[in-house]
Each structure stands twice: as structure tokens, then as C-alpha cells.
A and B are shown apart, each in its own frame.
Chain A
């Protein structure tokens, strides 16, 4: 059976691309290196191509968008597998304009905040975390999106939210004070060129992220692996085999760092040793049980942010064959 899989190019996905992780028996898996907002070897717009075009059999999908899609269509042609190839702590991913008067998370209340899209998983997580941990209500802020929503949303009329005009760069908007803060997995190119015109919200972002981990107990999920439902139904061993393959690829990627010189980061091995002290042996855990609290909290955030009509059980996201994981 020939199957396709659409993946980001992370270290932990290298084994999918160079044949060092065995596919399930009888399966030939063709990997595609596809970015979301940034194009990689095989293109961009991975999430809409997986969700709307059904272009791939298996792929790495936005957690938030998938939760919305399942909320709207319980018979969605895609079904989840409980492995999570992307994770972020929100505290470290918030950048501010140095003159916006923002010194603490609480100062974000009422501010103009840039995001990729309103439903981008990191945006939803950060809004939820700011409300839960710091009492900052997302309803009181105004939201400036870089791009449109993959799944349509309706926030109502009481919240300010819009897409920035064509031709505007959100990094420049931050540096020139048109917005006060930006939630993004990386500084924009325009920002990298002028590092003095913005800063992170937290002076010590790593310490804040660790505090988050101690309080909540997880490294928050950003992406989930999904596959075509008819494929999973016809081959009920396959979801678990993909889960297993993902785990083996991740374990192999950890061993890359056994060599202190694997990475361009001169002290990658020291960083891994430190990480294990603060986040435990593997904060990238797979399986439903180990991630249930995280998944359920995020579904609550989606509901609070008017992205789904009602919260639902974490199980609804996953194929029946992997509910005991």
C-alpha cells in the first residue's frame, strides 16, 4: 500500500525522510516536507491541504483547527492519532514593543495584539493561558491577524478582530507601535533585521516556561497527527503503527544529541541535559492518557474563545483503535 505523509522538517521527522525508521509492514510511505506559513521543500499551506483538499493520507495538522473541524463535523473525513509533533510554551513566544508600557503579562490587558490567525494554536493557547494564569481577558484586547482563518469563525460583534491590510508586515507594525505585542513562534524577518526595536515579554523566557510546566504539568500541544478516516477504518492497525513509527523517530532523534556535536548549537548536549532536569526525560509524550489534561484544557480554551459551540471529550478527536493509548 502506497501512502503519503505531510510533515514539517523538524529534527524528529528526519528519520521519516532518510529511511531510518521502518514503515508499517506492507506500507510504502512517501514523506512530503511541507511548511505552514513558510514554504519548505514540497510547498506550504500544509493544514488546509490536509483538511480541505484531503491531499495527503496522513499528516501533521494544527491542533486548534482540527478541534474546530471535529466540533463542526463529527464525521469529518480525517481522524486523529495521539502523537503531537509540535509543542510550545506560550510565555516565551510573546514579543512586545519596548515603548508600549508592557512589563508584565497583566499589562497586555486592552492592548493591540498581533497573531498569525485567531485560531492558530499558539494564539489560542496564549489567549487561554493569559486569561487563566494572569486574568487578562482576550475579549478586552484587539486582535490583528496576519492571515485569514482556515476554518470560518464567528466571534460576535463585541470583540475587535481583523486581518491586517495587504502589504503590511506585522513585524514592522510591532516595531512602529501600530500594535503593542505579537504572539508568534518566531520573530518575523523584519524583526530579525532590527533586534533593538522589539523584545520578548519576559526578560527570562526560559524561567517563565519552566514555571508554566511546573504549574500545568505539560509542554503544550500545538500539532496533532491525523489520517484519513476511511483508511483508518479499513486498516485498524494503521493508526497505532503510525503512532509507533512517530515514537521511534522521536527516540532516534533524541539519540542524535548523544553526539555533543550533532547540532550547530555548540552546547546542544548541555541544553538537553538541562532540559531533562527541568522537563523530565521526555516532555514530548504520546498517547491519549498522558495528554488528556492538556487536550481537555485546550478544548476548554477553544470553547471560551467561541471557536466551538460546546466543549467535548478528548476521545472525540481520535480514532477508536487508539483510545486505549
Chain B
């Protein structure tokens, strides 16, 4: 059986692309390197294309998937509790230096840029700002770069709009049209002009570590999904994909055993420090180990009017993996 799998190009997915992780018996797995907002070797807009059924298996945004499952319990895609992308929100917030923002509380009422309202990092940051700092997302104004992957309706009492097609959100931040930007990376326009913006936190790592101590997890951004009819027809397959993700991740950790694996001259030192701060492996798989994280996030999605009611984390995953 020949199956396709759409993945980002992370270090931990390299084994899928160079055949150093064993596929399930009888399966030939064809990996595609597909970005989301940035196109990679095999294109972009991975999440939308996964919903359209273009591939058998793939890496999906947690927030759009939570919305989709809520709207259609028989969604043709079903989740696997492997989580290839994670972010702490405190370190991913950039601000205009003249916006009068010194601490998270100062974001209240501000104009904030995001990729989409439903982008997982946006949902996490809004939820974290409310839970940890009392900043009501309803009091801020939201400016998004991209159309929503799944339709949303957040009502008329919140200021939320897409920026013009000709606008660059990085320039908007640097020119003061918005006050802050929540993004997994500075935009190219910002990288070209590093004095035009700064991070919310002068020591983002300490803030991220404090978050980990308080909440106990490294927050999930993406999960693996598979076509439901495929998982139903081959009930071993979801667990096998989870195994592959784990083995690939173990192999990728071993890359850093060599102190010179990375262009980062001190990658091994960084891994040693990370293990002191976050434990041996903050990238855990399985439903049980991630339930708290998932249910906190489903709560955020509900509070942000993306789903009508909270639901159990198990609803996201194929029945064959509810014991993981």
C-alpha cells in the first residue's frame, strides 16, 4: 500500500525524508515537504490541503482541527497523538518599541497582529495572556495576515479584521500601525530592520521556562492526522505512524550528540541546558501525557468563540489510540 504524508521540514522529520525510520509493514510512505504560510519543497498551505483530502497523513494545526472536529464529528480526518510542533507563547510576541508596552498586562486594549485569529499560536497566546496576565482578548484589536482555514464567527463586539493584501504586517508593526505581533518568527521585513522592533520579554527564555514550571508542558501547536477511512480499515496504522514519529524524534535527538551537528556552534550545550530546564523530553507523545495541555487548549478555543462547547480531548483521536 502506498501512502502520502505531508510534513514540515523540521530536524525531527529528517528521518522520514532520508529513509532512516522504518515504515509500517507493507506500506510505502511518500513524504512531502509542505509548509503552511511559507512554501517549502512541495508547496504551502498544508492545513487547508489536508482538509481537502490531498494526502493520506499529515501534520495539522491543532486549533483548526479542534474547530473542524467540533463542527463535524464524522470529519474525514482523525487525529494521532503525536505533536510535531510546540511553542511557548511568551517568547513569540514582538512589539513596537514606542507602543508603551513593558509587560504582558500592557497589551490590554492594544492592536495586535496574528497570522490568523485561529492560528494555534494566536489562540494559545490569547488564552495564556488571559489566564496568566488577565489580559482580555475581547478588549484588544486583532489584525490577521491570512484568511481563516476554517470559518469562524466571533461576533460584533470584538475588533478583528484582515490587513490589506498589499500590507506587510512586519512593516505595520515597525511603523506603529499595530502595537504587537504574535508570530513564530519575525517577518522578513523585520529581519532586515532589527532595530524597528523588539521582543515583549527582554529575557524570553526565562519567561518560557517560568511558563513550563507553572503549566507543566511545552504547548502543542500541531498534531498528526490521518484519513478516517484509512484508520478504520487498518486499525494498526495510526499507532504505527505514532511509532514512526517517536523513532524519528529519538534519532533526531541523537543528531545533537555530535556537538557539530548544527550550524549553531553550541547546539550540544543548548541541549544540555534544555534538559536541565524542561526535562529529558518535553516533546512527549500519547493522549494521557498531553491531556491537560489539550483540555486547557480546548478551553481557550471555547472562550475565544471558535467552538460552541468544550469537549473531551479523546474526541480528537482515533479510537485505537485512546489508551496511549
Interface residues of A (CB under 8 A from B): 8-12, 14, 17-20, 33, 38, 41, 86-89, 92-93, 185-186, 192, 205-206, 209, 219, 222, 250, 253-254, 256-272, 275, 279, 283-284
Contacts and interface: CB of A to CB of B under 8 A. Distances in A.
In the A-B complex, list the 6 residue pairs whose CB atoms are closest, starting with the nearest: A271-B264, A265-B270, A18-B17, A260-B184, A17-B18, A185-B259
A262 B10 contact: yes
Contacts of A259: 8, 38, 184-185
A250 B263 contact: yes
A127 to B, nearest CB: 18
Contacts of B87: 260-261
A185 B269 CA distance: 12
Given A33-B18, A92-B266, A270 B204 contact: yes
Nearest to B92: A260
Contacts of A222: 260
A38 B261 CA distance: 13
B266 A10 contact: no
B86 interface: yes
B307 to A, nearest CB: 25
A268 B259 contact: no
B18 A272 contact: no
Given A259-B8, A263-B262, A263-B264, 10 more contacts: A93-B259, A186-B259, A256-B11, A260-B91, A261-B87, A264-B253, A265-B262, A265-B264, A266-B218, A267-B205
8 contacts: A10-B260, A33-B20, A259-B185, A260-B92, A263-B267, A265-B270, A267-B270, A279-B265
Interface bin, chain B: 35 or more
Contacts of A92: 259, 266, 269
A266 B9 contact: no
A20 B18 CA distance: 13
A255 to B, nearest CB: 9
- Give the residue among B266, B269, B282 with the most A Cβ atoms within 10 A: B266
Contact of A206 (B19, B33, B184, B269): B269
Contact of A266 (B252, B257, B260, B274): B274
A238 B246 CA distance: 40
Contacts of A256: 9, 11
A12 B260 CA distance: 11
Nearest to B187: A258
B47 to A, nearest CB: 15
B268 A186 contact: yes
A275 B184 contact: no
A10 to B, nearest CB: 6
Given A9-B255, A262-B10, A268-B270, A209 B20 contact: no
Nearest to A250: B263
A209 B266 CA distance: 9
B311 interface: no
Contacts of B18: 9, 17-18, 33, 41
A271 B17 contact: no
Contacts of A205: 266, 269
A264 B12 contact: yes
Interface in B71-93: 85-88, 91-92
B141 interface: no
Given A33-B18, A261-B184, A88 B33 contact: no
B91 A267 contact: yes
A275 B253 CA distance: 21
A219 B265 contact: yes
